[in-house]
Amino acid sequence: MFSGEPAQWMWEGFCTTMQISTISLVCAMILGIIICVMRMTPFKPFQWFSLAFTEFFRNTPLLIQIFFWYNGAHVIIPDAINSWMNDLYSWFPGEFSLFGHHFVGEWMLLNVELIMGIIALTVYTSAFIAEEIRAGIFSIPKNQLEASRAVGLSFLQGYRYVILPQALRIVIPPLISQALNLIKNSSLVMVLGVTDLMYQATQIESYHAMPFEAFTVALLIYLAISLVVSFCITMYNKHFMIQVMY
């Protein structure tokens, strides 16, 4: 359907979308587990912080959060971190060559818009993941944690070696849904000018007057990504369950 420049743009958009989705999903899983464990600790300040975190980010629109991180995050981020990020970004020109390959700044992880988009997706998705994992933890008998404490494990060790491995296996189906939602939500970072798949589709519409073709291809690519992710995780889950049963 595409050839030449439009095809190249769509390929670049696909690569950027996969980069954003992969990094955000990994970071969201890590942050979600941390928030969930904080919610389950007996230390009240951790409980209050994790509760406020999940309620705030789950109940505010993602689009507003994206604009917040891009336009307003510098107010709450320490000046030292802001200066470090500005210096880090200034080291790289808009276009440069490395190991014989030509790179454009918009492709780089050190691009400010891309970083803020990843942060917004990570924080937003981690709030949902934390609640999914917490639901999985509640499905595990409480005496397992008590037994882990009885054999000498600390609270964190009990969660790390006994509770979380079981909870994560139980919540794999809802985590698949969160992963798919993150991939689809990544299209919103185009509002920051990140050259993802959706952004490139709009560019093709503007410069080549191919709106139907551009958005049809983008839709099919998102569908293909979601189906592949769902299939892979489902097969992993099925294989893991068989291994556990035997």
Q: What is the mean pLDDT of residues 173-182?
A: 87
pLDDT at 28: 94
What pLDDT digit, counting tens, does each position of 220-230 carry? 999 998 888 88
pTM over 0.75: yes
In Å, how far from its chain's centre is CA 225? 15
- DSSP H or E stretch at residue 8: helix 5-40
CB of 60 within 8 A of CB of 123? no
What pLDDT digit, counting tens, does each position of 114-136 carry? 888 999 999 999 999 999 888 88
| Tokens read off for 182 | 């993150």
CB burial of residue 11 (10 Å; 0-12, 13-18, 19+): middle
pLDDT at 9: 87
Kindly give, in sequence order, each residue whose CB lies less than 8 Å from that of residue 106, ignoring residues fewer than 6 positions away.
Answer: 16, 113, 114, 193, 194, 195
pLDDT at 113: 83
Q: Which residue has the higher pLDDT, 54 or 2?
A: 54
What pLDDT digit, counting tens, does each position of 57-90 carry? 999 999 999 998 888 776 666 665 556 556 555 5
CB of 67 within 8 A of CB of 191? yes
Q: What is the mean pLDDT of residues 172-194?
A: 88
CATH hierarchy code of domain 16-199: 1.10.3720.10
| Tokens read off for 23 | 């990094």
Where in 24-183 does DSSP place strands (E)?
95-98, 101-104
Residue with tokens 């999985």: 136
CB burial of residue 224 (10 Å; 0-12, 13-18, 19+): exposed
Crossing angle of helices 211-245 and 172-185, rounded to 10°:
160
Residue 189: pLDDT band by 50, 70, 90 thresholds? very high
Q: What is the mean pLDDT of residues 24-44?
A: 90
Residue 106: pLDDT band by 50, 70, 90 thresholds? very low
CB of 197 within 8 A of CB of 14? yes
pLDDT at 76: 65
Residue 232: pLDDT band by 50, 70, 90 thresholds? confident
φ/ψ of residue 151, rounded to 5: -90, 5
Q: What is the mean pLDDT of the chain?
A: 80
Would you list the domain boundaries of the chain?
Answer: 16-199
Among residues of the chain, what percentage have pLDDT more than 90? 26
Q: Does pLDDT of 143 surpass 60? A: yes
pLDDT at 122: 94
pLDDT at 193: 85
